[in-house]
Amino acid sequence: MDTLFNTKFEGEPTQHNQPGVQLKSNTYELQESNVRLKLNVVNTVGFGDQINKEDSYKSIVEFIDAQFEAYLQEELKIKRTLHSYHDTRIHACLYFIAPTGHSLKSLDLVTMKKLDSKVNIIPIIAKSDAISKSELAKFKIKITSELVSNGVQIYQFPTDDETVAEINSTMNGHLPFAVVGSTEEVKIGNKMVRARQYPWGTVQVENENHCDFVKLREMLIRVNMEDLREQTHTRHYELYRRCKLEEMGFKDTDPDSKPFR
């Protein structure tokens, strides 16, 4: 996140000995030139660290539902103030996958399957410089095939608007993005670049031959931010809202089972 927004977000790393999964939410006000952005970053602290991982996804699902519920309660008020309401719904889930080069962990498949109707999932191979280029290409194909065969619906960049159709279509073919993060600057030639230095060489974060970081940033922040918000509202929240209102006894039909007009 530091690399993505070129900001140093505060927060201490958490130990890997948590008894369960906790969600920690932080809100930041970012400004670049005259553009202001209110950013909520939610960390799933302790995810995957327990011996029994069966219930790891539950805290995440409950947290997402709680944000939907808060929005629904605001919507149901007689005097609604949605224009000034601080929307805490989760608009994108960056799902980090360990760079094993093998198959997805069952925890990943189960969690993504539980989340795909609730949030826009963007799968990301973390620390992708840990495996070779040929292994990475095979790993991407393997991940995509496993997601499809397990019926996991990841977020697809929209291709219905002709202004972004070409770029989004190309980028859909690059998923999952293989990224490397770094806030350290290294001098390459006559300019400073963000990179990771190893005894064998330097991995440049913003060099597209080295990783997909630039693609992720472009897709997430510049091209599809509004669509991510729209999908959250029209697809994921709408599903939650419909189920909740049906539980409360609301129906789309009149007593004679004819749809209301």
Task: Measure CA 55 to chain center.
Answer: 20
Could you tell me which residue, 161 or 15, shows the higher pLDDT? 161
Q: What's the pLDDT score for residue 146? A: 96
107's CB contacts (< 8 A; 6+ apart) are 48, 53, 56
Average pLDDT, the chain: 90
Q: Which pLDDT tens digit goes with each residue over 18-64? A: 888 999 998 888 887 788 888 999 999 989 888 888 889 999 999 99
Domain boundaries, the chain: 22-180+216-242
Average pLDDT over residues 256-260: 55
Q: What angle do CA 68, 70, 74 make, to 5 degrees?
A: 115
**Most confident residue range from 67-71, 74-78, 202-206:** 67-71
| 83, two tokens | 């224009």
- What is the model's pTM? 0.90
Pairing, β 191-198 against β 185-188: antiparallel
DSSP state of 83: T
- What letter would DSSP give residue 260? P
**Contact assessment for residue 123 and residue 97, using Cβ atoms and an 8 Å cutoff:** yes
- Stretch 63-76: mean pLDDT, rounded? 94
| CATH 3.90.1150.110 describes domain 22-180+216-242 | no
pLDDT exceeds cutoff 70 at 256: no
Return the pLDDT at 255. Answer: 57
